[in-house]
Structure 1
Amino acid sequence: MKSTTRGTLVAVVTGVAAAMGAGAVTPAVAAEKVPVPVPLDGVGRALNLQTPKIAGELPVPMPGGPEGPRYVEGRMLPDRAVPRLPVDAGLPGAGLRTPLPNLLGHGFDHLGADAPAADLTTLTPGLAVDAPLGAPNPDHYGLPDLKLPQAAVLGPLLKTVPGANVGMAEGE
């Protein structure tokens, strides 16, 4: 085989391998949780002992679309002057598995704690304001009625259900 043919064949095979590898990789933006491992293998090898295995998960906040204003009959301004913005994310998760020496025999037992990442739904604070003028009144020749101005702060909202598991078992 000539060297130009081999070079072309190598370039084609490399391009196909890169295209297949790029198709298998998912973008980081699509991930909902980012794993965070804690590498302790070097400490275990250096001290010749079993080390705990620790890992965590960090959620990626995803902003949603704001709630639009609601027009209510009898009001000049919409119900939500400053809309609340939803943000979906989660509470961070953690996993811990540590060896315990078995006093009655050989090997190790382990103690494990797992707190999976929990979904978290939030809404930012908002503002609802109403003008001191009411709807047009036909009894007053179409002029609006006067009323007291109204203002309300819509409080933030947090919803989540966290959980955790703690247990002991045989094995590493």
Structure 2
Amino acid sequence: MKPTTRGTLAAVVTGVAVAVGATATPAAATGTVPVPVPLDGVAKSLHTEVPGIGLELPLLVPGVPETPRYVQGRLIPEHALPRVPMNGVLPGADLRLPLPHALGPGFDHVGADLPASDLRALTPGLELDAPLSAPDPQHYGMPNLKMPEAGVLGPVLQTVVGGDLGAGPGR
């Protein structure tokens, strides 16, 4: 292969990589994917103003699960089925509804802006312990019997939701 062909091929591959990286970075950086709802065709065909709708869909990112921890006196480690943290955002929406002077002069639109909000979650987990105790030196290293233990760790969700509702003139 000639050096000029190799250089051209390298430039094309680099350009494609930059283009793909440029389109993927904003969604990955914000944690949401914007989804516009195209209603322009409806507005043009009906010759009227239609609501404006824009949505944001979340991208969930799984974290590193908790590791099992050995506790003195237990045969099965803590966090037998570990909880997995999930980070992401709740979906957002931007809605605008035309109301021609329904609220009086100067009020042509009603809008709601519900931005995407951060979400932190933990999946359910499981705690177990065997019906035997740790080896007991007073019984020549034989374990004692005890009641088995089982518990379910519930899921955890943490977020703060906000939004704006307003009315005003213009689009």
TM-score between both structures, scaled by the size of structure 1:
0.79
Does residue 94 of structure 1 match 2:93?
yes
| TM superposition shift of 1:128 | 0.8
The code of the aligned residue for 2:54 comes to: A
| TM superposition shift of 1:145 | 2.4
Aligned to 2:127: 128
| TM superposition shift of 1:47 | 2.0
| TM superposition shift of 1:33 | 0.5
Deviations 1:46-79 (A, max 9, x none): 2222222110011011111111111111111101
> What is the identity percentage for the equivalent residue pairs of Structure 1 and Structure 2?
54
**Take 1:108 and 1:48, find their aligned partners in 2: how far apart are those partners?**
21
Gaps of 5+ in 2: none
Structure with bigger gyration radius: 1
What is the total number of aligned residue pairs between the two structures? 161
The code of the aligned residue for 1:65 comes to: V
> 1:12-161 to 2 correspondence within 5 Å?
15=12, 18=15, 21-22=19-20, 24-27=22-25, 30=28, 32-102=31-101, 109-161=108-160
Aligned to 1:4: none
**Take 1:141 and 1:21, find their aligned partners in 2: how far apart are those partners?**
70
The code of the aligned residue for 1:25 comes to: T
**Take 2:13 and 2:120, find their aligned partners in 1: how far apart are those partners?**
42
Aligned residues of 1:53 and 1:97 also touching (Cα < 8 A): yes
Deviations 1:68-105 (A, max 9, x none): 11111111110111111222222211110122213766
**Take 2:58 and 2:21, find their aligned partners in 1: how far apart are those partners?**
24
Aligned residues of 1:111 and 1:168 also touching (Cα < 8 A): yes
Aligned residues of 2:107 and 2:168 also touching (Cα < 8 A): no
TM-score between both structures, scaled by the size of structure 2:
0.79
Structure 1 residues 88, 43: closer, same or farther in 2, change over 3 A?
A: same
Deviations 1:26-51 (A, max 9, x none): 35872510111111111112222222
| TM superposition shift of 1:21 | 4.1
Question: Cα RMSD (Å) of the superposition?
Answer: 2.8
The code of the aligned residue for 1:61 comes to: L
| Structure 2 residue matching 1:45: 3-state secondary structure | helix
